[in-house]
């Protein structure tokens, strides 16, 4: 069993990526902490949706049908996104699904999952007669729960780290980082993103109680996560690439800028419409006197 000797915040830890092995197949089927942690984040997101669906004007029973269909599609999209941009060579469907080894999918990309969930979820909301923008607002808060917790799966696999930090206290080191980067402390990018997402959850949960229009929270999610991911992506050394360009950095930046632009446009339009609504007194002082004279 693989074991990583990890140093984080000056604390030395032994990390086992594999939680346990099921007696399936010739060599068994390894169950990774990565999958368990991702599933835990997903479950908490669903529980949040169940508790708050009514506040978003959504019938949770209908939403659950959407989740059941959307989840496997999102996983497939996350895998497809990774394969396309990582350049992983697969010889057939068995390699895509990981049937050729003990561990199933060997690479997933968050953005692929989010995009797949948004597209499939939109179609399913239409079918189940759920207001799409309200569903996206609720899902956006849930995404941050799942992403904030799920990034610790990367820690268990010792991935999603960045460049050298020098002698920074928050640096991380393990056999894997030494093998791939050399001696030295590296940025624990998984931790940065986890903290950013959890902070975003509390922020968006608060804003959702004061939302002014449907779709506002999903736009705030795009702005918040997009900006944070763009910055963190600059530190990472394992980014998916198109030539010299980091795919997730470019996509994150475009999403964040676009979301902010839409939010500002909506805000300006709202302020303009409110300023155009001025109260015109039916009876001014002069009109009141004239009215009184007529009555006399």
Tens-place pLDDT, residues 268-277? 888 777 766 5
Instruction: Name which residue leads in pLDDT, 103 or 186.
Output: 186
Measure Cα distances from 15 to 157, 174, 175 in Å: 8, 10, 11
- Tens of pLDDT, residue by residue over 210-232, are 999 999 999 999 999 999 999 99
| pLDDT value of position 237 | 87
DSSP assignment string, 169-221: TT-EE-HHHHHHH-SSEE--HHHHHHHHHHHHHHHHHHHHTT--STTHHHHHH
Which strand (E) or helix (H) includes residue 129? none
Other beta carbons less than 10 A from residue 202's beta carbon: 12
| pLDDT value of position 37 | 94
Residue 183 pLDDT > 80, yes or no? yes
Express as a percent the part of the chain with pLDDT over 90: 55
- Tell me the mean pLDDT in the region 237-255: 87
């Amino acid at each position: 069993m693989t074991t990583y000797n990890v140093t984080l915040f000056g604390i030395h830890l032994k990390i086992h990526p594999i939680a346990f092995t099921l007696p399936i197949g010739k060599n068994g089927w390894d169950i990774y902490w990565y999958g368990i942690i991702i599933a835990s984040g997903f479950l908490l997101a669903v529980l949040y949706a169940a508790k708050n669906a009514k506040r978003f004007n959504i019938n949770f029973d209908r939403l659950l049908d959407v989740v059941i269909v959307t989840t496997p599609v999102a996983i497939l999209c996350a895998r497809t996104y990774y394969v396309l941009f990582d350049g992983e060579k697969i010889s057939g469907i068995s390699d895509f699904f990981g049937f050729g080894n003990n561990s199933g999918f060997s690479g997933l990309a968050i953005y692929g999952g989010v995009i797949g969930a948004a597209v499939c979820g939109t179609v399913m909301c239409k079918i189940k007669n759920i207001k799409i923008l309200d569903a996206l607002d609720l899902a956006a808060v849930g995404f941050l729960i799942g992403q904030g917790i799920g990034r610790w799966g990367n820690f268990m696999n010792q991935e999603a780290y960045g460049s050298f930090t020098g002698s920074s206290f928050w640096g991380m080191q393990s056999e894997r980082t030494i093998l791939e980067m050399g001696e030295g402390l590296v940025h624990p990018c998984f931790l940065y993103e986890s903290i950013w997402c959890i902070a975003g959850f509390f922020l968006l949960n608060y804003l959702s109680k004061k939302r002014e229009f449907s779709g506002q929270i999903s736009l705030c999610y795009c702005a918040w996560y997009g900006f944070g991911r763009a910055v963190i992506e600059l530190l990472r050394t394992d980014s998916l690439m198109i030539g010299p360009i980091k795919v997730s950095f470019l996509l994150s930046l475009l999403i964040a800028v676009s979301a902010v632009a839409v939010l500002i446009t909506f805000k300006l339009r709202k302020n303009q419409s409110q300023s155009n609504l001025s109260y015109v007194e039916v009876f001014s002082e002069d009109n009141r006197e004239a009215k009184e004279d007529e009555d006399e």
